[in-house]
Structure 1
Amino acid sequence: MSLGDENDGGQTRTRLPDGGTGDVYGGARRPARNSRSLITVVGVVVLLIAAIAFANRSGTGEGTSDDTAKGPGAGAPTSATGVRPVTGKDGTIPTGYAHDEQGAQSAAANYAVALGSDGMFKRDTRHTIVRAVHDPAVVDSLLASLDQAYSGTFLKNVGLNEDGSSPEGLTFVSRTVPVGTKVTGFEGDTATIEVWCTGLVGLAGEGSNKPVTETWFTITQKLKWTQSDWKIQSSSQQEGPTPVNGDNRASTADEIAGAVAGYGGFTYAR
């Protein structure tokens, strides 16, 4: 999933499980994955599906933070850094970020979470999400591209029905989890933010041939201050950094499906 900016006709990849047969969970150890086990989708639009992450904001009001970035390129600890979270919402998406570096980090992270959610796979919710988090100047052309990218054929390749719904007895999982954020550029009304993420994607349930797997990647978002908030102008993604795979036993299909139903995803992490 890689792209230069909104005028760049780059390309991006979305990685999804290969269509093998049978249930791979079954209590066995999780095998190492490689690029051949993933579906590659080309296009600027699909880059957004992979977006993921959370971060912090800096606001006015009581409290101080010792974790603010020291300038472009400076890494910040992964402990909480905002003075307080935002309180505004556009649907379920947090809005109303501070006009500073922490606010930009928080916006990039939370927007990535929304763009990496299962709502992107259905037309109506996809349009709502994209309009909420993007610069209005890029929305219409982006939606047109997204609607083409999320074709019935693409959805079937992912394992979904043509309308984006899950097959009977299975639960589709598309969640993103942030690990950290970094400011790589900030000039008042524009910001470039990197979000290091891990994500879950696949179909949970007995007999799934596209089981839920994890991926690691870094999202780069270029943001613009518009309409009194940070909005995305363009984004890109690259693979990793990826840690060594642990020696954990892979859970059964029922355990994964139960976890998906029992643990709600985040809309605002920190």
Structure 2
Amino acid sequence: MSFGDEYEGGSGRGRGGRGGTGRTRTRLPENEAADTYGDGFGDGFGCPARRPPRTSRSLVTVVGVVVLLIAAIAFANRQGGGDSDGTAKAPREGAAPTAATGTKPVTGKNGTIPAGFAQDEQGAQSAAANYAVALGSAEMFDKAKRDEILAAIIAPSRLKHFQSTLDKAYSPSFYEKVGLKPDGTAPEGFAFISRTAPIGTKITSLKDSRATVEVWCAGLFGLAGEGSTKPVTNGWFTITMELEWVDGDWRTVTHSQKEGPAPVGGDTRASSAEEITDAVTGFGGFTYAR
């Protein structure tokens, strides 16, 4: 039977059937027939082939476009609307504006680590963001480089504690778990990747020479290479850092980390190991500033 062609029945004679000569025909629009009754067999059976269902990629693309449109409309309304007196609304309490302040974030560097942050809210957030990058870098897996990083960002009164604690943490057994050699180097033919990228900062306490800052981060971690059993993956986490003003700069006193907040994963095709390696080695990092 073909719903796209005709239906024969009732008391009449169908094609090759028995009975009277009555015939009833019901025709449906071509698109409706294809959408509703298509059975995937194609025209050979008189039924139009069923259209392939939308893939998840198409759905994510559509949702992404909708989100962008909504964001664009909201931005336009904020730019052109505002209050009746023409002033823009203040940002939600608790979230600092992302616009540039015009204040230089640092005045120098300590080795490869930015240094000379201001003794204020902006300076504390900038310091925490840059220190999070250093503590999440691949250099932390090298004993000599790790000691240099710690000497640059840890308060002198806490330096020995951090060094001894991290020396125990970065052990041969830990290296083995992440796919590295016992000395912390990558196996031949592989590139070890560990990179942290701050998404935003929030200061939760600031009093005299002490500050507590939360840094929301995204990170990459793993071994890039053909046949890697520890491929590079991404993660989301929040670092809480207590800072102390020592000798004209912010230094880290305590450091802790928790998972999230993590967004829903997108529908982006995973890149090859070679592409990831080229990206990490080819794209440099930043000095982060509030």
Distance in 2 separating the partners of 1:177 and 1:160: 23
Deviation at 1:114, TM superposition (A): 0.5
Q: 2:185 aligns with which of 165, 169, 185?
A: 165
Distance in 2 separating the partners of 1:197 and 1:252: 23
Deviation at 1:99, TM superposition (A): 0.6
2:132 touches 2:198 (CA, 8 Å); kept in 1? no
Letter of the aligned partner of 1:194 in structure 2?
E
Q: 2:196 aligns with which of 143, 161, 176?
A: 176
Letter of the aligned partner of 1:186 in structure 2?
L
Deviation at 1:135, TM superposition (A): 0.6
Letter of the aligned partner of 1:250 in structure 2?
A
Letter of the aligned partner of 1:91 in structure 2?
G
Letter of the aligned partner of 1:162 in structure 2?
P
SS where residue 214 of structure 1 aligns? Answer: strand
Deviation at 1:265, TM superposition (A): 2.8
Deviation at 1:79, TM superposition (A): 3.4
Letter of the aligned partner of 2:121 in structure 1?
E
The answer on 1:105 being equivalent to 2:100 is no
2:191 touches 2:225 (CA, 8 Å); kept in 1? yes
The answer on 1:197 being equivalent to 2:213 is no
Aligned to 1:253: 273
Aligned to 2:40: none
Aligned to 1:269: 288
Aligned to 2:109: 89
- Runs of 4+ aligned residues of structure 1 deviating over 2 Å after TM superposition are 77-82
The C-alpha deviation readout for 1:185-225, integer Å capped at 9, x for no partner, is: 11021001111110001111111111111111111111111
2:107 touches 2:117 (CA, 8 Å); kept in 1? no
2:105 touches 2:123 (CA, 8 Å); kept in 1? no
Q: 2:138 aligns with which of 118, 121, 134?
A: 118
Q: 1:153 aligns with which of 173, 176, 182?
A: 173
Structure 1: tracts of 5 or more residues without a match: 1-28, 30-68
Deviation at 1:82, TM superposition (A): 5.0
What is the correspondence of 1:64-83 to structure 2 with a 5 Å cutoff? 74-81=94-101, 83=103
Give the paired residue count.
201
Q: 1:142 aligns with which of 162, 178, 188?
A: 162
The C-alpha deviation readout for 1:146-167, integer Å capped at 9, x for no partner, is: 1111111111111111111111
1:191 touches 1:222 (CA, 8 Å); kept in 2? yes
Aligned to 2:85: none
**Higher alpha-carbon Rg:** 2
After TM superposition, the structure 1 stretch with the greater mean CA deviation from structure 2, 75-84 or 99-108, is 75-84
1:178 touches 1:196 (CA, 8 Å); kept in 2? yes
Letter of the aligned partner of 1:110 in structure 2?
N
The answer on 1:230 being equivalent to 2:230 is no
TM-score (norm 1): 0.71
1:152 touches 1:161 (CA, 8 Å); kept in 2? yes
2:236 touches 2:259 (CA, 8 Å); kept in 1? yes
Letter of the aligned partner of 2:238 in structure 1?
T
Distance in 2 separating the partners of 1:243 and 1:79: 23
SS where residue 128 of structure 2 aligns? Answer: helix
Structure 2: tracts of 5 or more residues without a match: 1-56, 58-90
Distance in 2 separating the partners of 1:168 and 1:204: 11
> Which of the pair has the greater relative contact order for Cα pairs under 8 Å at 6+ separation?
1
Distance in 1 separating the partners of 2:125 and 2:288: 12
SS where residue 175 of structure 1 aligns? Answer: strand
The answer on 1:243 being equivalent to 2:263 is yes
Q: 2:240 aligns with which of 204, 220, 224?
A: 220
Letter of the aligned partner of 1:210 in structure 2?
K
% identical equivalent positions: 57
Aligned to 2:46: none
Letter of the aligned partner of 2:269 in structure 1?
R
Distance in 2 separating the partners of 1:80 and 1:200: 27
Deviation at 1:98, TM superposition (A): 0.4
- Cα distance change of structure 1 residues 81 and 207 upon mapping to structure 2, 3 Å threshold: farther
The RMSD of aligned alpha carbons is 1.9
